[in-house]
Structure 1
Amino acid sequence: MLRRSLLRMANDPRVRSRVESAPGTDELVSRFVAGRTAPEVVAVADDLTSKGLQVTFDRLGENATDEDEAAECTQGYLDLLALVAQEPWADQVDVSVKLSAVGLQLGRAGEQLAHDFTRRICEAAAGIGATVTVDMEDHTTTDATLAVVERLRQDFPSTGAVLQAYLRRTESDCRALATEESRVRLCKGAYSEPAGVALQSRHEIDLSYARCLRVLMEGPGHPMIATHDPRLVEIGVALARKLGRDPGSFEFQMLFGVRPIEQRRLVDIGHQCRVYLPYGTDWYGYFTRRVAEKPATVSLFARQLIGRR
């Protein structure tokens, strides 16, 4: 119940205003957001890559309200990639793009607009040897998102897709996407979804994640195991060992600020681990979902909300 309440808060403008102005919020947000500007997040990435980790950048912001806003988000990614191009680790980078931020929900032309803007990002990423992963949002966008990914892969076959294990359709989607060259990030899911389309209990979601992960690991693509759950991490390690997968043929992914010691451990034992680096000023929706996923932060969040130090 608490998790669902927090997820609903992500779309409540009154709560958003109160949270953004609460004392100490900046300090709490900085635990999960890697910087406000592109230079700040690139500096964080430089530190992480020096420790053997890889990174994916996420420019925060969702639901562009007009084409100018979508174009601004796109330009933000292009500016970021221009900075990254100067770094020795540029060809190891991934960028994560939410299609709603680049126009997906702008009426009938939204899907085409999102495709065109994301294509520009793919072109810039390919120019420095980097990759793009298209993030998944709530279930109403799943079909459109996968359609855009399919089109982008015609010219940029390394374009990644994200699937959410709590959706009832996901095991089938995994089977469809577990193909040669395919990059698929499997996560549990972080939106408030109805029971008709999404599993509700943690146990059911964990079982679905394990089934979906097996499908991806048995396929010829590049699975991206996005979880902080120790049991699921070990299932990933065990599957890789059983299937004889080369360490470069899959990777683990974890969020900035969550289990950093585990991130280093995975690298130390020979696995690839990529850190998801959100940055920017439009942090509220992302931050609220992270609080909902991590119960230990709820009390901190509540104290900030009511102004207690």
Structure 2
Amino acid sequence: MNPLRPAILAAAGSSRMKDAVTRVPVTAAVVRRFVAGETRAELVPVARELLASGRAVSVDFLGEYTTEHVQADAAVAEYLSLIDDLAEADQMMPGAHTDIPRVEVSLKLSALGQSLGQDGPAIAAENLHKLCAKAVERHVWVTVDAEDHSTTAGTLEAVRQARTEFPWLAVALQTYLRRAEDRARDLAADGTRVRLCKGAYQEPATVAYRRRAEVDASYLRCLDVLFRGAWYPMIASHDPAMIDAALALAIENHCNPGDFEFQMLYGIRDAEQRRLVAGGHSLRVYIPYGTQWYGYLVRRLAERPANLAFFLRALADRA
């Protein structure tokens, strides 16, 4: 694992570091490598371009750990408009309204009010229902993102309850958590659509694997579980070893290319994204946008040293 990862992730929660980075005049231009703008007006053309290239999209309006009711309401309002805009962008493309929606929104329950005191989980669940109902109307999917380990149980329970009405609702599962394989089995048994990722938060060793080999081994075990029993696995990884393993498991379990999908982040491994699409595989690009990009950016830098090197080089070049 990247030895700089703990320090980089610690910076994600540092208001002092955030102020220092966001005040650098050239930062905004560099951030656009990973974030598709701060507004929907900036996002939509990016989504259209990706859809036109044969890729699907999952859009995240950045924001988490909401502490005020008005912020949660604003996030819901933005997502409602986002669902409309994405549906309209998709309708402009050939072959619209496929069985597997090509447009999706990704959201965090903490942005919908999960942390608003004792009533937070109920508020978030109500807001999630509202967004899922809107998504059904517009033929858009929804995935509930993973956050730090303290929210995992609450997130899985909220998704379980919502799936009684919206069985297509998906949830992200982080394989650096030690209980990931057991949770993968439970989700597969329930027929839940799962986005499998390695994880991007700073977690204690008591709940999360720290060594890269352990995280990778957990990913492969979970991947095997999903391909053997889940509906529509979603392989969210840029790691060539994980991609090759998914392709091998698909063959072993007689899965067609439309039975699963790969997912990659906006701005990372674009050539590999295009290669997979050219090979007939489904690939969805995770596109973030919004003003609260700092935490997201820092987690991306922590995941791969190449991302950090790119960021620092770009800052030096533009300074």
Q: TM-score with structure 1 length normalisation?
A: 0.96
Letter aligned with residue 27 of structure 1: A
Which residue among 259, 262, 266 is the counterpart of 1:249?
259
Which residue among 61, 64, 75 is the counterpart of 1:62?
64
Which residue among 133, 139, 143 is the counterpart of 1:129?
139
Give me the identity figure in percent. Answer: 47
Pairing 1:200-239 to 2, within 5 Å after superposition: 200-239=210-249
Contact 1:95 1:131 in 2 (8 A): yes
Cross-structure match for 1:293 = 303
Verify: 1:266 aligned to 2:268, yes or no: no
Deviation at 1:302, TM superposition (A): 4.6
Contact 1:18 1:305 in 2 (8 A): no
Task: Tell me the alpha carbon deviations over residues 113-134 of structure 1, each in whole angstroms, 9 at most, x when there is no partner.
Answer: 1111111111111111111000
Cross-structure match for 2:30 = 28
Letter aligned with residue 251 of structure 2: R
Deviation at 1:220, TM superposition (A): 3.8
Task: Tell me the alpha carbon deviations over residues 133-160 of structure 1, each in whole angstroms, 9 at most, x when there is no partner.
Answer: 0001000000000010001101100000
Cross-structure match for 1:11 = 13
Contact 1:252 1:273 in 2 (8 A): yes
- In 1, Cα distance between the equivalents of 2:56 and 2:88? 16
Task: Tell me the alpha carbon deviations over residues 50-78 of structure 1, each in whole angstroms, 9 at most, x when there is no partner.
Answer: 11100001000111111110010010000
SS of the counterpart of 1:257?
coil
Letter aligned with residue 125 of structure 2: H
Deviates more, 1:297-306 or 1:281-290: 297-306
Task: Tell me the alpha carbon deviations over residues 32-65 of structure 1, each in whole angstroms, 9 at most, x when there is no partner.
Answer: 0012111221211111111110000100011111
Cross-structure match for 2:111 = 101
Contact 2:87 2:140 in 1 (8 A): no
Contact 2:188 2:231 in 1 (8 A): yes
Verify: 1:147 aligned to 2:149, yes or no: no
SS of the counterpart of 1:171?
helix
Deviation at 1:296, TM superposition (A): 1.7
SS of the counterpart of 1:286?
helix
Contact 1:178 1:219 in 2 (8 A): yes
Cross-structure match for 1:115 = 125
Deviation at 1:84, TM superposition (A): 2.0
Aligned pair in 2 of structure 1 residues 263, 301: CA closer, same or farther (>3 Å)?
A: closer
Aligned pair in 2 of structure 1 residues 49, 306: CA closer, same or farther (>3 Å)?
A: closer
Letter aligned with residue 64 of structure 1: T
Contact 1:180 1:221 in 2 (8 A): no
Q: Which runs of 5+ in 1 are unaligned?
A: none
Task: Tell me the alpha carbon deviations over residues 236-258 of structure 1, each in whole angstroms, 9 at most, x when there is no partner.
Answer: 01110111102111100000001
Contact 1:164 1:188 in 2 (8 A): yes
